[in-house]
Amino acid sequence: MVASWTRKNIRPEEEYSDPREFYTKEEVLHYARSKSVRKIQQKMAMELVDLLDASPPGTVLDVGCGPGFSMEVFEELGFDVYGIDLVPEMAEIAEERGFDVVVGDMRQLWDYFDFDFFDYVFSISAMQWISKNPQDVERFARGLVYVLKQGGKVGIQFYPYSEKELESVEHIFKKYFRKVSVEILQPNTRKERIYLLLEF
């Protein structure tokens, strides 16, 4: 039997089924003020831009945008940026920082955005909230292909619980995207980043 990995550390999405329970007002403020979180979110945003070879001009959707750390990167590069987040207090902070954000669920993107609108969709540290449920991932994939332009690209960083979960997500995206690849940077270290790169 081939050995497969399972995540060792416990993450909030294992203890809370809904991010609105985990992200209390205090937790949101703590997150939004953290310089170290901002730094890592922005590093991953830049790595995804490079891996996708994404270049402005273009429309970008940031899924699970939080208070807007990753959106700052896309905006500075010259993209026309939109965000979506399920937690109203997160969206509020991103709005105060000048971003165009809706409060909504990544599992029904068609409710909030136009068909055929985005050149790129990015999602950083958010999809693990839904990735243990294949039906939720399927809904996310359907929403992505609804909002993306033909030839559009998606860059996702997330924290799968296990290798099996990563494979399941990959398998689902393969039904909707012509190209799906996984890039793992600094594997098997504390700084490991798992990236999914999709082309529509």
Ligand X SMILES: C[S@@+](CC[C@H](N)C(=O)[O-])C[C@H]1O[C@@H](n2cnc3c(N)ncnc32)[C@H](O)[C@@H]1O
Binding site for ligand X (CB under 6 A): 19, 23, 41, 64-67, 69-70, 84-87, 90, 105-107, 124-126, 129-130
**Which CB, 118 or 129, lies closer to ligand X?**
129
**Which CB, 61 or 106, lies closer to ligand X?**
106
For tokens 């799906």, name the residue. Answer: 180
State the minimum distance, in angstroms, from the CB of residue 177 to ligand X: 20
**Which CB, 3 or 133, lies closer to ligand X?**
133
- Of the candidates 118, 99, 102, 89, which has an alpha carbon nearest to the alpha carbon of residue 19? 89
State the minimum distance, in angstroms, from the CB of residue 174 to ligand X: 22
State the minimum distance, in angstroms, from the CB of residue 192 to ligand X: 16
Instruction: Say how far residue 119 (Cα) sits from the centre of its chain.
Output: 15
Q: Show the DSSP H helices in 53-119 as ranges.
A: 69-77, 88-96
State the minimum distance, in angstroms, from the CB of residue 70 to ligand X: 4
Strands (DSSP E) along 86-158, which ranges?
100-103, 118-124, 148-157
Separation between Cα atoms, residue 61 and residue 74, nearest integer Å: 10
**Which CB, 89 or 119, lies closer to ligand X?**
89
Angle, helix 163-174 to helix 134-147, in steps of 10 degrees = 40
State the minimum distance, in angstroms, from the CB of residue 58 to ligand X: 18
Give, as one character, the DSSP assignment of residue 119: E
The tokens for 104 are 């909504």
- Of the candidates 96, 97, 66, which has an alpha carbon nearest to the alpha carbon of residue 83? 66
**Which CB, 4 or 76, lies closer to ligand X?**
76
**Which CB, 16 or 179, lies closer to ligand X?**
16
Angle, helix 25-33 to helix 88-96, in steps of 10 degrees = 40
For tokens 């700052």, name the residue. Answer: 72
State the minimum distance, in angstroms, from the CB of residue 157 to ligand X: 8
